[in-house]
Amino acid sequence: MGEEVKLYGNWASPFSCRVDIALKLKGVEYRYYEEDLKNKSASLLEYNPIHKKVPAFVHNEKPLAESLVILEYIDETWKTNPIFPQDPYERAQARFLARFIDEKLMPTLREAWINEYKKKEAEEANGYLEFLEKELKGKYFGGEIIGAADIAGNTLALWLPIYEELKGVEILTEAKFPKLCKWSHDFATHPVVKEVSPSKEELIAIFKPRFNITK
Amino acid sequence: MGEEVKLYGNWASPFSCRVDIALKLKGVEYRYYEEDLKNKSASLLEYNPIHKKVPAFVHNEKPLAESLVILEYIDETWKTNPIFPQDPYERAQARFLARFIDEKLMPTLREAWINEYKKKEAEEANGYLEFLEKELKGKYFGGEIIGAADIAGNTLALWLPIYEELKGVEILTEAKFPKLCKWSHDFATHPVVKEVSPSKEELIAIFKPRFNITK
């Protein structure tokens, strides 16, 4: 078919990693362009003029931005190994969870812990994690097979531990969130996720200076 | 089929009006529960525990929140009069535009104009409106038939004019945005939109006190 699939990403961005995961799960061949976020390419700015961010995804010269929008497009275009459930209600729940992670959970966690500790936000984030713990009914959010809500959860499974380590705090603990902890481990060790995601060591090396930690 | 469809909304909320529009466009019968936003019902809080906001949508006791997630569910469940395009790329664009309106355009417009005038944000919002003006290729964002991106644009077509009037500013002008102005008019006068949306007078009456305008 002469298909051309391009992804403009950054290795340390969870959002472009999501697109890598979806494409690899489906076995779609694509060209990956690593972006320097301090000196973004003309192509990235052309393909994602609104957000000017990674990921930008291009299929046969048709560009798309926003990781969750791209995930849906990939799932509808390449049908093998679906990442969204077939049932409309389950699909709606996957969309809700993915947005919840991006718009509620992670911003509140960041607000609670990243700069100074904020009690109110930490309690709110705790409530969100309790909600998510209850939502986990199988191995993954979608059941036994990894899906879109799990992929959107890469920020929680792979990036949050970096914050925890650099700030010396424990947020997602076995005692409080046993199911989420197991999910986080299963997700992180899934062969495709592992293949395309940065290691903990690599992320710590790049995030350390941003936390003003010199030792 | 004994279907039970319920919507918990508020007449002045553009987000619950979106769900009304989608249901009416498809001819789905539903029960509407008007929420007092200062004294929310136990049902609303039960059905939307995360956001605790209208709209909450319930189909055969299965609850959903978030207007854009609900619109997709409605479109996939009741197939008549589709509101999302059939083509995956066009569908992705509709999703992108709907999110863009909610997450970029409207927050920036609010930030620029609602309290004190902020030049930087106003310029940014202007750029977003220019982008949207170019995206409008037919009568509606989806072409000749009203669709999800248009419905998400109800904040722009019906709520922005209230801000403009109460603040005495002109943002969406014929001179700068002729296509968006025509779209805004066509959208506002669409029979279904008109039937379920509050009038300008009703909205002005309720928003006036929030702007501290007493005369």
B196 in any annotated domain: yes
**Cross-sheet strand order for the sheet of A56-59:** A31-34, A5-9, A56-59, A62-65
Do the Cβ atoms of B89 and A131 come within 8 Å?
no
Beta strands in A12-151 (DSSP E): 31-34, 56-59, 62-65
Amino acid, res. B197: S
Same domain, B46 and B94: no
Indicate whether B210 pLDDT > 90. Answer: no
Same domain, A72 and A105: no
pLDDT of amino acid B113: 81
CB atoms within 10 A of CB B189: 10
Residue ending a domain, choose from A15, A45, A77: A77
Same domain, A52 and A148: no
**Predicted confidence band at B117 (pLDDT cuts at 50, 70, 90)?**
confident
Supply the range of the domain harboring residue B135: 88-211
Q: Which of residues 86-125 of A touch B (CB under 8 A)?
A: 88-89, 91-93, 95-96, 99-100, 104
pLDDT of amino acid A210: 80
A25 in any annotated domain: yes
Positive/negative CA dihedral, B13, B96, A146, A156: negative
Q: Which residue from A64, A89, A92 is facing B96, i.e. has the nearest CB? A: A64
Token pair recorded at residue B158: 């019906």
Same domain, B114 and B72: no
Same domain, B116 and B32: no
For chain A, what is the domain count?
A: 2
Average pLDDT over residues B13-17: 98
Quote the minimal CA–CA distance from B200 to chain A in Å: 31
| Residue A27's CATH number | 3.40.30.10
Do the Cβ atoms of B131 and A49 come within 8 Å?
yes
Distance CA B132, CA B150 (A): 11
Do the Cβ atoms of B92 and A70 come within 8 Å?
yes
Tell me the per-residue pLDDT of A81-135, one tens digit each, with 9 for 90 and over: 999 999 999 999 999 999 999 999 999 999 998 777 889 999 999 999 999 999 9
Residue ending a domain, choose from A23, A42, A77: A77
Residue of A69, A97, A100, A134 to mutate, testing the B interface (most B Cβ within 10 Å of its Cβ): A69
Give the predicted TM-score (pTM) of the model: 0.95
The percent of residues above 90 in pLDDT, for chain A, comes to 90
Q: Decide if A69 touches B, using CB distance below 8 A.
A: yes
pLDDT of amino acid A117: 83
Average pLDDT score, chain B: 94
Please calculate the CA angle A211-A157-B100 and round it to the nearest 5 degrees: 80
Token pair recorded at residue B118: 């902020």
A34 in any annotated domain: yes
Q: Decide if A62 touches B, using CB distance below 8 A.
A: yes
Indicate whether B89 pLDDT > 50. Answer: yes
Same domain, A114 and A158: yes
**Predicted confidence band at A211 (pLDDT cuts at 50, 70, 90)?**
confident
Tell me the per-residue pLDDT of A144-166, one tens digit each, with 9 for 90 and over: 999 999 999 999 999 999 999 99
Quote the minimal CA–CA distance from B214 to chain A in Å: 35
pLDDT of amino acid A212: 64
Do the Cβ atoms of A77 and B99 come within 8 Å?
no
- Inter-chain CB pairs, A–B, below 8 Å: 62
Closest alpha carbon to A67 in A6, A17, A137: A17
B61: left (phi over 0), alpha (psi -120 to 50) or beta: left
Token pair recorded at residue B174: 């014929």
pLDDT of amino acid A196: 96
CB atoms within 10 A of CB A117: 11
Distance CA B66, CA A26 (A): 29
Distance CA A90, CA B80 (A): 21
Distance CA B6, CA B15 (A): 15
Same domain, A123 and A182: yes
B58 in any annotated domain: yes
Distance CA B4, CA A191 (A): 43
Same domain, B110 and B55: no
Indicate whether A215 pLDDT > 50. Answer: no
Same domain, B109 and B178: yes
Counting Cα atoms < 13 Å in the Cβ hemisphere of B131 gives 17
User: E strand or H helix at A7, and its extent?
Assistant: strand A5-9
Q: Which residue from A50, A89, A131 is facing B62, i.e. has the nearest CB? A: A89
pLDDT of amino acid B215: 41
Average pLDDT over residues B147-161: 97
pLDDT of amino acid B186: 97
A103 in any annotated domain: yes
Average pLDDT over residues B112-139: 91
Quote the minimal CA–CA distance from A202 to chain B in Å: 31
**Predicted confidence band at B115 (pLDDT cuts at 50, 70, 90)?**
confident
Distance CA A196, CA B94 (A): 29
| Residue B5 near residue B59, CB atoms below 8 Å | yes
A2: left (phi over 0), alpha (psi -120 to 50) or beta: left
pLDDT of amino acid B211: 75
Distance CA A143, CA A52 (A): 34
Asked whether this complex has an ipTM greater than 0.85, the answer is yes
Average pLDDT over residues A162-172: 92
Same domain, A69 and A153: no
B82 in any annotated domain: no
3-state secondary structure of B21: helix
Q: How far is CA B163 from CA B106, B110, B152, B156, B168, in A?
A: 11, 9, 17, 10, 8
**Predicted confidence band at B212 (pLDDT cuts at 50, 70, 90)?**
low
| Residue B54 near residue B15, CB atoms below 8 Å | yes
Same domain, B129 and B173: yes
Indicate whether A207 pLDDT > 80. Answer: yes
**Predicted confidence band at B214 (pLDDT cuts at 50, 70, 90)?**
very low
Q: Cβ contacts of residue A100 below 8 Å, gap of 6+?
A: A128, A132, B50
| Residue B117's CATH number | 1.20.1050.10
